[in-house]
Structure 1
Amino acid sequence: MIVDPARPRAGRTSGPPRRTLLRALPAAVLGIGALSACTHASERLDAESNAVPQVDLSGIEKVPEIAALVPEDIRARGELVNGAALNYAPGEFIGDDGTAIGYDIDILAAIGRVLGLATRTEAAVFAQIIPAIGTTYDVGMSSFTINAERLEAVTMVSYFQAGISYAVKTGNPYDIDPAQLCGARVALQVGTFQEELAIERSAQCREDGRRAFDILAYASNSDAATNVAGGKADILMADSPVTAYAIIRSRGTLEAIGEVEESALNGIVVAKDQPELAEAIRAAVQHLIDSGDMERILAAWGNESGMIPTAEVNPEP
């Protein structure tokens, strides 16, 4: 949460976008606004759902030469309007007070301070954000992976990098190797790219004459993480921001294992006919990277590993 007054992952080219799979699930299944039911694990990892990071942005000041790049109509309005699907913790989700929170929301507010603008996030259906950029919304900041298909429709400014990552119970008591999961109990969220990938890899295990994955698909990543920490599953498989957030909230019961796979850039969406706005946002993001504020925000959410050194407009996917 910000103290400031003022996912999908692209997946493979042969399959649907990772966040598209997740967004297709109804809000009730994703547990938005409520805690989803789970097994009788000794302790839920989302028990401290009220303890969201408090990121102080008050020291981030307007940079006049960057603010001057903002189109006149937006400067006159004094506000940057964002569309986001608020069901993807820790990127963007709904806090207990009903407001949008997450590292994307904090980064957006920091960008606004650099540009001398207030920021406002409106809840949206993920698939409907891009078509509304430039009309309903000035930008779309909702963990969008930069890919060729999206770049045909909109401009994207890179600010973060994410992929698939893994976590196990601290100490790895079951001696799990993420590269060798045949026969392992793999916990993940139902309807995500990870489930699709796990099914594919499990089939390969069978073809190779080995035991298939024991796929444990839960209604939420929180449930999946809880059951890994409780020993009911061997390994958590999730988007890297989700895994990192689960670890930081696990009170030391989970640890990362293996490398991040299929890493790709996330981007802030801007309309193609707004090159000045895209450049203003790029310059603001780069300022936050250079000043250390981007790392500070991401670290508060356990996701400093997603830092990139350079913000670009329409980078190669």
Structure 2
Amino acid sequence: MALATLAAACGTVQDNPGGGGGAPGNSQSAEIPAAAKDDKLAALLPAEIKADGKILIGQDQSYPPNEFVENDKVVGMDVDLGKAIGQKLGVTVEYQNTAFDGIIAGLASGRYEAAMSSLTINADRLKEVDMVSYFSAGTSGAVLKGNPDKLTLDTLCGKNIAVQKGTVQVEDLEARTAKCKQAGQPDINVQQFQNQTDANLALSSKRVQGMLADSPVVDYALKMTNGQLEQFGQVYDSAPYGLALPKGKGEYAKAVQGAIQALIEDGTYKKILEKWGVQQGAVTKSEVNPAPAG
């Protein structure tokens, strides 16, 4: 099955000037012009980053099309955007693969200098790290083609639903399970997977009846399975993704926000999103620690 090939790899992958790899249905071989360095923004970086000239970014590389491994190379929307942010700030970026549910803790402990891994901005995360917004995504559901179990977002009680550990979708399913209990219905059987690619495969191999994930991830899974899957329900709870940074680092967040805003304004951002077919999540303004919705 197509999704079985989208497996994550381990280790540290350095930003590659050649861009991303190819995949069916996308212009992923498209070259993204290098972003021009902004000396004023670069001057805002912490001293230790200026000294070694790089930013180590933690991410879970099992979340196509945002970050994933293809042909032994990490590619994706976040990867290309992170590279462009580095160019704007005059530094290189390196990506270190890790479990999604450990990314924020790793950043807070100093293991990484940034985290860029489809992290939805929410109140809990803002307590631990600074977050700079750069994209908007909601939650979407996927089922097998034809929706054999006739699932809707209101009929998940008693069903087997796949989700990646540590994501906002886990909290969503916990809240829905509480409503099932209140209504005297069976709990949702939430099956949590360490990697999103494993959640995708659980659905395509009929081990679960449905899956919840971020909207661009579900859209990509539908494209890559050649008609095996389809979306059910509408996208909901749209919220910004944030590039996470450790607190107490001076004007680091301001530097990253300025770089993202500059990429939006010079058209680089648009080219990257179009390359990965995720332009529906584009934002026009990047912010530091925006107030979470609701």
Return the TM-score normalized by structure 1.
0.68
Q: Deviations over 1:5-37 (max 9, x none)?
A: xxxxxxxxxxxxxxxxxxxxxxxxxxxxxxxxx
CA drift at 1:45:
1.9
Distance 2:285 2:147 in 1: 35
Distance 2:164 2:244 in 1: 26
Q: What is the DSSP-based 3-state SS (H/G/I as helix, E as strand, rest coil) of the residue aligned with 2:288?
A: coil
Of 131, 141, 146, the residue aligned with 2:109 is 131
Residue 189 of structure 2 corresponds to residue 208 of structure 1? no
Give the match for residue 131 of structure 2. 156
CA drift at 1:284:
1.5
Give the match for residue 155 of structure 2. 180
Give the match for residue 81 of structure 2. 107
Q: What is the DSSP-based 3-state SS (H/G/I as helix, E as strand, rest coil) of the residue aligned with 1:314?
A: coil
Against the structure 1 CA distance between its residues 294 and 251, is the aligned structure 2 distance closer, same or farther, given a 3 Å change threshold? farther
CA drift at 1:246:
1.7
CA drift at 1:213:
3.9
More deviation, 49-58/136-145: 49-58
Q: Deviations over 1:228-264 (max 9, x none)?
A: 4455644222233432332232223223332333333
Distance 2:201 2:177 in 1: 23
Of 285, 290, 296, the residue aligned with 2:265 is 290
Any conservation in 1 of the 2:163–2:212 contact (CA below 8 Å)?
A: yes
Residue 19 of structure 2 corresponds to residue 61 of structure 1? no
More deviation, 172-181/247-256: 172-181
Any conservation in 2 of the 1:189–1:217 contact (CA below 8 Å)?
A: yes
Of 23, 37, 45, the residue aligned with 2:3 is 45
Any conservation in 2 of the 1:248–1:302 contact (CA below 8 Å)?
A: no
Against the structure 1 CA distance between its residues 146 and 208, is the aligned structure 2 distance closer, same or farther, given a 3 Å change threshold? closer
Give the match for residue 165 of structure 1. 140
Distance 2:190 2:112 in 1: 39
Any conservation in 1 of the 2:6–2:62 contact (CA below 8 Å)?
A: no
Q: What is the DSSP-based 3-state SS (H/G/I as helix, E as strand, rest coil) of the residue aligned with 1:312?
A: coil
Q: What is the DSSP-based 3-state SS (H/G/I as helix, E as strand, rest coil) of the residue aligned with 1:158?
A: strand
Q: Deviations over 1:202-236 (max 9, x none)?
A: 45335424455455556654344345445564422
RMSD over equivalenced CA pairs, Å: 3.6
CA drift at 1:66:
5.2
Distance 2:59 2:192 in 1: 22
Distance 2:219 2:177 in 1: 24
CA drift at 1:109:
0.2
Residue 250 of structure 2 corresponds to residue 279 of structure 1? no
Residue 75 of structure 2 corresponds to residue 117 of structure 1? no
Distance 1:220 1:75 in 2: 30
Against the structure 1 CA distance between its residues 149 and 180, is the aligned structure 2 distance closer, same or farther, given a 3 Å change threshold? closer
Any conservation in 2 of the 1:70–1:277 contact (CA below 8 Å)?
A: yes
Distance 1:168 1:268 in 2: 30
Any conservation in 2 of the 1:162–1:266 contact (CA below 8 Å)?
A: yes
Any conservation in 2 of the 1:164–1:238 contact (CA below 8 Å)?
A: yes
Number of aligned residues: 271
1:184-195 superposed matches below 5 A:
184-189=159-164, 194-195=169-170
CA drift at 1:62:
0.6
Paired letter, 2:141: Y
Q: What is the DSSP-based 3-state SS (H/G/I as helix, E as strand, rest coil) of the residue aligned with 1:259?
A: strand
Is there any run of 5+ residues in structure 2 with no aligned partner, and where? 8-20
Is there any run of 5+ residues in structure 1 with no aligned partner, and where? 1-42
Q: Deviations over 1:139-171 (max 9, x none)?
A: 332333333454445432111233422112344
Q: What is the DSSP-based 3-state SS (H/G/I as helix, E as strand, rest coil) of the residue aligned with 2:3?
A: coil
Against the structure 1 CA distance between its residues 225 and 144, is the aligned structure 2 distance closer, same or farther, given a 3 Å change threshold? closer
Any conservation in 1 of the 2:46–2:249 contact (CA below 8 Å)?
A: no
Paired letter, 1:142: S
